[in-house]
Structure 1
Amino acid sequence: MESELQTNNQAYPFMIVLSLFDGMSCGQIALRDMGIPVTRYYASEIDKWAIKQTQLNFPDTVQLGDVRNVEARTLGHVDLLIGGSPCQSFSFAGKRVGMSTTAHEKVLTLARYMELKEQGFEFAGQSYLFWEYVRILAEVREANPNVLFMLENVEMGKQWEAVIDQALGVKGVHINSALVSAQVRKRIYWTNIRTFQADLFDVPESAIPQPKDRGILLKHILDDEVPDRFYLKPETIEKLLQHKQRNKANGNGFGAKFHQGGDCPKTIAT
């Protein structure tokens, strides 16, 4: 099997990748597992522990820091832009304010975001950072108009999904990771890899098919015998419960869920 990425009849024998909101570089793990050689991998991330893990696994990663300060024009040619911008303000578990200022103005275009950013306005939550992805995509396209991209985010209200569709010029494909894992994780993926034009008056749609359901359940990935050190201590559980109560008081549903009994002989959090 050749190590190349086939998209729209184009072959990429190597890749220069820019990953925004890189986390522990799962994008780099996926490319490695697909057999796609990466010549250079730029990563934008601010969490020190995620960066430390990335550099342990992939020491050649070029860390760029805060996405708001990334100057993509200085990077030259980029083949692939990936990322998963913050989801909390989109999520049905949160307050769903989307991309808004603290004064409740909805930010619907990159141009308006750039005006507000320049004027020093404060934004609600972190989901507004999607516009940094769009800004950087535009800058990357100056050197490579055919750059491939993929953005991941959570299931959200139709209004904000439509804003992202228009900003990226493609409709997102909805995939639940429960099809391929033991976790219910409903997400939307926007990409210009494999698209088709279903409606001449609307943006293109993704031709990426739904994964086959592998029927993986939590009981399939849990070990029968696990040392006690891998279970949460009572004081840790208490702190997680307090954290969940604080989130509930703030009007959102973020927090751990605890399971005990059945296939889970001890208390675990998910």
Structure 2
Amino acid sequence: MNLLELFSGIGGFSLGLHQAGFTFDKVYFSEIDRHAIANFKHNFPNAQHVGSVCDITGTSIERPDIITFGSPCQNFSAAGNGLGLQGAESSLIRYAIKAIDYFRPDIFIWENVKGVLFERHCRDFWAIVKALADIGVYQIEWQLLNTSWVLPQNRERIYLVGRLA
């Protein structure tokens, strides 16, 4: 199996999937912060950095079976500016959606702050769901989960999962 982790940071999805028992032949990751890239490479020395998410569909990587992404949340966060998809950071999710449409992985997983479900972001959330549904080949489900169930912190996050229908 191949994994593509977008907005990878230091590799939280890769680590979590590994700890859940998944093994990957290839791990690709997209990140722009040089410190996060170095940390990811330290944690996963065989992983291949594929550059910015903005250029992901121009890379020549093997088709990923799973795409994961925790797209920037600043514009959806309760403490953020409230710009939602109009914000420079949160609007980057369009590149993840483009990658899903391009690669057609078996599964994709999106994680974000619960603020994406706030009333002021309701249209943005449904625009994201619609863009993913319009790809036309995925069954999509989501749930708000509290990370305190698995981590020593009390943080609610939305997880949206798509799988080939």
Percent sequence identity is 31
TM-score, length-scaled by structure 2: 0.85
Match of residue 42, structure 1, among 28, 45, 58: 28
Pairing of 1:1-270 with structure 2 (within 5 A): 15-71=1-57, 74-100=60-86, 124-141=87-104, 147-155=106-114, 156=116, 157=118, 158-169=122-133, 170-193=140-163
**1:178 positional shift:** 2.1
* The structure with more radius of gyration: 1
Amino acid at match of 1:163: A
Greater share of helix? 2
1:133-166, CA deviations, whole angstroms, 9 ceiling, x for partnerless residues?
001111102xx5xx21101111122222222222
Residues 24 and 50 in structure 1, CA contact (< 8 A), matched pair in contact too? yes
Amino acid at match of 1:150: I
> What secondary structure is seen at the aligned counterpart in 1 of 2:109?
strand
Amino acid at match of 2:77: S
1:152/1:57 CA distance change after superposition, 3 Å: same
Structure 1, gaps ≥5 residues long: 1-14, 101-123, 196-270
**1:129 positional shift:** 0.4
> What secondary structure is seen at the aligned counterpart in 1 of 2:4?
strand
CA distance in 1, matches of 2:99, 2:143: 22
1:134/1:194 CA distance change after superposition, 3 Å: closer
TM-score, length-scaled by structure 1: 0.53
Structure 2, gaps ≥5 residues long: 134-139
Residues 50 and 59 in structure 2, CA contact (< 8 A), matched pair in contact too? no
Amino acid at match of 1:69: D
**1:49 positional shift:** 1.1
**Greater relative contact order structure (CA < 8 Å, 6+ sep):** 2
**1:192 positional shift:** 2.1
Residues 68 and 109 in structure 2, CA contact (< 8 A), matched pair in contact too? yes
> What secondary structure is seen at the aligned counterpart in 2 of 1:75?
coil
> What secondary structure is seen at the aligned counterpart in 2 of 1:151?
strand
**1:171 positional shift:** 4.1
Residues 72 and 139 in structure 1, CA contact (< 8 A), matched pair in contact too? no
Q: Provide the alpha-carbon RMSD of the alignment.
A: 1.9
1:168-209, CA deviations, whole angstroms, 9 ceiling, x for partnerless residues?
2224211111223331211111112599xxxxxxxxxxxxxx
